[in-house]
Structure 1
Amino acid sequence: MLRSISATGLTKRRPGFGQTVVPAPGSVLAAPTVGEGPEEPDYFFHWIRDSAVVMEAVAGRVEEGDAGADWTGHLRDMVRFSLATTRLSGAALLRARDVRRGVQPEFLRYLRPEAELAAVEGERVLGEVRYNPDGSLDVIHWSRPQHDGPALRALAAMRVHALGALDDDDGRQGLEELILADLDYTERHCGEPCYDLWEEERGRHYYTGLVQHAALRRGAAWAGEREDRARAERYAAAARALAAGLDAFWSDGLRIYRCTLRPPGAERDKVLDSAVVLGVIHAGLPDGRHSPLDDRVQATLLALERRFAADYAVNRGRPAGLGVAMGRFPGDRYFTGGPWYIAGFAAAELHYRLAELLGRGAVLAVTPDNLDLGRDIAPAAGTPGARLPRAATERHALVRALIARGDAVMAMMRRYIPASGELSEQFDPDTGAQTSARDLSWSYAAFLTARDARRRALRGA
């Protein structure tokens, strides 16, 4: 992951677009590879979403007291870079240069229209999804807008703020400015249709709505602490509206949270999606619906496990003690359509977070929807209507059983990680060979946040 943060020693050339890009301090590459080809997607960009996930993982290193790098310095640079991107101007870019100059004729069709670029001003810059890591606007067609990134970054930045990691005047001022920009954007655009986190489908998405809700809910408390009552009230009202809308994603027929809401008759096969699990862990709600304690979240995870256990050859006939390698969604066709490390680590992290909550005194209600989980962690007590633990003496065993479930998924991931520790985006569902982008920053960040969640669960045990 460190290779992707402030990778100022790398140079990416895109001859077709006439671009030579050198990352600036504080940028976060989705993947640091500079090659191109049918087997190597071009991820040499700073995505708001990916960089927010990395910021969250870096904040975890600060909280854990990790001395392996200057994590606080990295956070400072990341905030400065992110804040600078919020001030970009499409009109200024067009005045400064002809974006078509140097572009090979066959690549011109991939450029964004000048009218679209000219409209990238003010808060619309935050809907840009990704930027060149040198801090300039991306002039290439992409799936825009996406509204989850600013919410995710606000969540990560508020955690950094709570840690006091940037406690000097300049650092704190820049951090607070970034938080306000992201929260204001999220409040104004929450609930609007946009592209999903996989950048494939425009609509209203569970993941986006949930992280927006979490950011605004936490942002309302944060603004209240700053005695900014107007913002606190606006954020709280928007968070309540989003919470009400999230319940509509539940399917009474399928007994899962659907990833996307579609008009009647427009349902597709892609309704079961690991984006739901990712949304729950990124939102980090402590209780209630859409938290790890939600039986409907657990039902969705169980449905994903069953489907991928059947779909992927790497899962069939796996030895005892290994969990299920998880993909994005059934029928995925991106590269090999295989398991994704971020999906597997997210499934493990959900178990660890649930274990942590039970260790702190929470109760798990067993329903027909999460019955398989209840029976797995408490065979003698896992019946519909049970509330676990039934007695204080059972709590430790429940926590250990959930940690063991998460560990089984981590063990399955470890089976397909080379000795070098390199993490790609996904691996082949038949052979287990790594595929798609190499050294995906999000994969490393997902491992770190899962490990941090396990440590917290163990402390509670």
Structure 2
Amino acid sequence: MQVSTCLFALCSAVLAAPRQENLLRRATGSLTSWLAAESPIALQGVLNNIGPNGVDAPGADSGMVVASPDQVNPDYFYSWTRDSALTFKCLTDQFLAYGTSGLEAQIRDYVNAQAAVQTIENPSGGLCTGGLGEPKFYLNQTAFFGPWGRPQRDGPALRATALIAYARYLISQGESSSVSSIIWPIVQNDLSYVTQYWNDTTFDLWEEIDSSSFWTTAVQYRALIEGNTLAGQIGESCSNCVSQAPNVLCFLQSYWNGEYIVANTGGGRSGKDSNTILASIHVFDPDASCDDNTFQPCSDKMLANHKVLTDSFRSIYSINSGISEGSGVAVGRYPEDTYQGGNPWYLCTMAAAELLYDAVYQWKRIGSLNVTSTSLAFFQAIYPSAAVGTYSSSSSTFDSIIDAVMTYGDSYMLIAVC
């Protein structure tokens, strides 16, 4: 199953947000009103897909996330490790930001469910023999033995990241003992898997190509860094995290071809793929610099990649006909996509906007932005007088470029929500 599609309005509101005064929906008013109306709907839609009480999760065990209630064409009535982790990372962020009632009980159910899921023997193996890379399970916590694209090595890393977010909260509440006895053993299993298998091929989040994957490598690096930090906070150690994280980061650089990120090393595609933007959003660090090595949203390589990727969809979807360069377009998974018609997807289109909002957040926090020869084409498409240089937040050019980037991000939102 591809990444869950009902989380954007819910999760993007936690930090990044569009410039709402410039967005007028063609049908129902401003984006401000749309976000206010959509956020509780999105949250309830997520909760509806979580067992045992979700209305779209009949028969699902407690804490198990239903990828989709659809059971035919295609049948996605299973629980994916990746989708579940992304869902609960979002719900944890929601809980930490807003204290949303009832979410902590759901998070605890997820922790308990994943402790059980890790031990299920499956076609990929057992707990210590590769089984953590199994992509999906039945909702009653039993193994699926049918043919599928396996293994999918992003799942353990994403689950570790989701659990680490909750563990940090527990530590802040004086519950380090609960982290040590309940959460750390699950996280440790996942980190051990990542350190053992990060350099092996994998099916990525689209489940179609068995190769090296930018998405997978990026999320694995984040898990190792955060996992090692958590270990230190509770008096544990993760020596393999320390030894392998630099190797993973080094390998992450190999996906850059000088113009854009080649998302998969196999499969005969161009490598232009929205999973690169989704990866940058996932590893987004609000306190980071515009780091090319981790492909932060404001880095020149990620901005260049954003332009190449989104431009690749301008001519292949009729909905994009007549839209000029410098305005947002409908974005799909990758330009060669044919699955279910190979259409644009609002998750990918909104991700194109979210990355830009994240970049603006970073520039404003840093107090300057850099235009380099690598990112120049991106900036000139939306601000034609842009030139290579560093622009301080005290300059009028900084303000003008920020306005242009925000307007550009808003234009993707207009495509997605109208």
Report TM bin, short chain.
0.7 to 0.9
Q: Choose from 47, 71, 86 the match for 2:103.
A: 71
- Tell me which residue corresponds to 1:6: 51
Aligned counterpart, 1:22: 59
- Is 1:208 the counterpart of 2:216? The answer is yes
> Matched residue of 1:388: which SS?
strand
For residues 133-152 of structure 1, what are the structure 2 equivalents within 5 Å?
A: 133-152=139-158
Per the alignment, residue 344 of structure 1 pairs with 349
Q: Aligned in 2, Cα 1:362/1:188: closer, same or farther, shift over 3 Å?
A: farther
Bigger Rg, structure 1 or 2: 1
> Is 1:184 aligned to residue 229 of structure 2?
no
Q: Distance in 2 between matches of 1:298 and 1:185?
A: 32
1:414 aligns with 2:417: yes
In structure 1, distance between residues paired with 2:196 and 2:324? 50
Higher relative contact order, structure no. (Cα contacts within 8 Å, ≥ 6 residues apart): 1
Measure the CA separation in 2 of the matches of 1:299 and 1:236: 31
Alpha-carbon distance between aligned partners in 1 of 2:95 and 2:56, rounded to the nearest angstrom = 29
SS at match of 1:158: helix
Q: Distance in 2 between matches of 1:9 and 1:60?
A: 20
1:122 aligned counterpart, secondary structure: coil
Cα distance in 2 for partners of 1:77, 1:374 equals 45
Give distance in 1, aligned partners of 2:139 and 2:367.
43
Is the CA contact (8 Å cut-off) linking 1:322 and 1:412 kept in structure 2? no
Cα separation, 2, equivalents of 1:372 and 1:46: 41
Tell me by how many angstroms 1:251 deviates.
Answer: 1.2
2:392 is aligned with 1:389:
yes
Q: Per the alignment, do residues 6 and 165 of structure 1 end up closer, same or farther by CA in structure 2, a change over 3 Å counting?
A: farther
CA distance in 1, matches of 2:398, 2:407: 14
Give the SS at the match of 2:205. Answer: coil
Residue matched to 1:238: 244
CA apart distance, 1:157: 1.6
Structure 2 distance, partners of 1:319, 1:293, is 23
How many aligned residue pairs are there? 366
**TM-score w.r.t. length of structure 2:** 0.80
Q: What residue is the counterpart of 1:291 in the other structure?
A: 296
Q: Are the counterparts in 1 of residues 382 and 404 from structure 2 also a CA contact under 8 Å?
A: yes
CA contact (8 A) 2:364 2:393 kept: no
Q: Secondary structure at the match of 1:256?
A: coil
Question: Residues 394 and 213 (structure 1 numbering): CA distance in 2 closer, same or farther, change over 3 Å?
Answer: same
Q: Distance in 2 between matches of 1:396 and 1:164?
A: 40
CA contact (8 A) 1:154 1:183 kept: yes
Q: 2:372 is paired with a residue of what secondary structure?
A: coil
Task: Find the counterpart in structure 2 of residue 251 from structure 1.
Answer: 257
Deviation per CA, 1:292-320, whole angstroms, max 9, x where unpaired?
Answer: 12211111110111111121111113599
Classify 1:294/1:320 alpha carbon distance in 2 versus 1 (closer, same or farther; 3 Å).
closer
Q: Is residue 150–residue 203 contact of structure 2 (8 Å, CA) maintained in 1? A: yes
Aligned residue in 2 for 1:449: none
Q: Which residue of 2 aligns with 1:330?
A: 335
Report the counterpart of residue 376 of structure 2 in structure 1: 371
Q: 1:319 to 1:25 in 2, by over 3 A?
A: farther
CA RMSD of aligned residues (A): 2.7
Aligned in 2, Cα 1:377/1:318: closer, same or farther, shift over 3 Å?
Answer: closer
Change over 3 Å in CA distance of 1:403–1:236 after alignment to 2: farther
The aligned runs of 1:71-90 (5 Å cut-off) are 71-90=103-122
Sort the Cα spacing of 1:208 and 1:11 in 2 relative to 1 into closer, same or farther, 3 A: closer
* Whole-angstrom CA distance in 2 between matches of 1:408 and 1:305: 12
* Identity in percent: 27
Pairwise CA distance, 1:192: 1.1
Residue 235 (structure 2) aligns with: 227
Aligned-partner Cα distance in 2 for 1:179–1:396: 43
Is 1:47 aligned to residue 51 of structure 2?
A: no
Please state how far the C-alpha of 1:350 moved relative to its aligned partner.
0.6
Post-superposition CA distance 1:349-390 (Å, at most 9, x none): 11111111112115432123321332356554x212x12336
Residues 76 and 171, structure 1, Cα contact 8 Å, conserved in 2? no
Residue deviations 1:75-107, cap 9 Å, x none?
1111111111012235xxxxxxxxxxxxxxxxx
Give 2:255's aligned amino acid. F
Offset at residue 122 of structure 1 (A): 3.4
After superposition, what is the alpha-carbon deviation per residue over 1:230-254, rounded to whole angstroms, capped at 9, x for unaligned?
x1x32122110011111111113xx
Contact 1:299–1:370 under 8 Å retained in 2: yes
Q: By how many angstroms is 1:226 displaced?
A: 2.7
Residue 77 and residue 362 in structure 1: after superposition, are their counterparts in 2 closer, same or farther (change >3 A)? farther
Which of 117, 124, 133 is the aligned partner of 1:127?
Answer: 133
2: CA distance, partners of 1:120 / 1:360: 45
Contact 2:62/2:110 (8 A) holds in 1: yes
Report the Cα distance in structure 1 between the residues aligned to 2:91 and 2:63, rounded to whole angstroms: 12
| 2:315 alignment partner, SS class | helix
Contact in 2 for aligned 1:146/1:194 (Cα 8 Å): yes
Instruction: Give the whole-Å Cα distance in 2 for the aligned partners of 1:407 and 1:66.
Output: 28
After TM superposition, the structure 1 = structure 2 runs for residues 259-274 of structure 1, keeping only pairs within 5 Å, are 259-262=263-266, 268-274=268-274
Shift of the 166–345 alpha-carbon distance from structure 1 to 2, 3 Å rule, reads farther
2:111 is matched by which residue type in structure 1? V
Q: How far did 1:183 drift?
A: 1.5
Counterparts of 1:392 and 1:63, CA distance in 2: 35
**In the superposition, relative to structure 1, how do residues 392 and 238 fare at CA in structure 2: closer, same or farther (>3 Å)?**
farther
| 1:128/1:406 CA distance change after superposition, 3 Å | same
* Counterpart amino acid of residue 73 in structure 1: A
- Whether contact under 8 Å (2:126, 2:132) holds in the other structure is no
Assess if the C-alpha contact under 8 Å between 2:48 and 2:54 holds in 1: no
State the AA in 2 paired with 1:271: G
- Deviation of 1:170 after TM superposition, in Å, equals 4.9
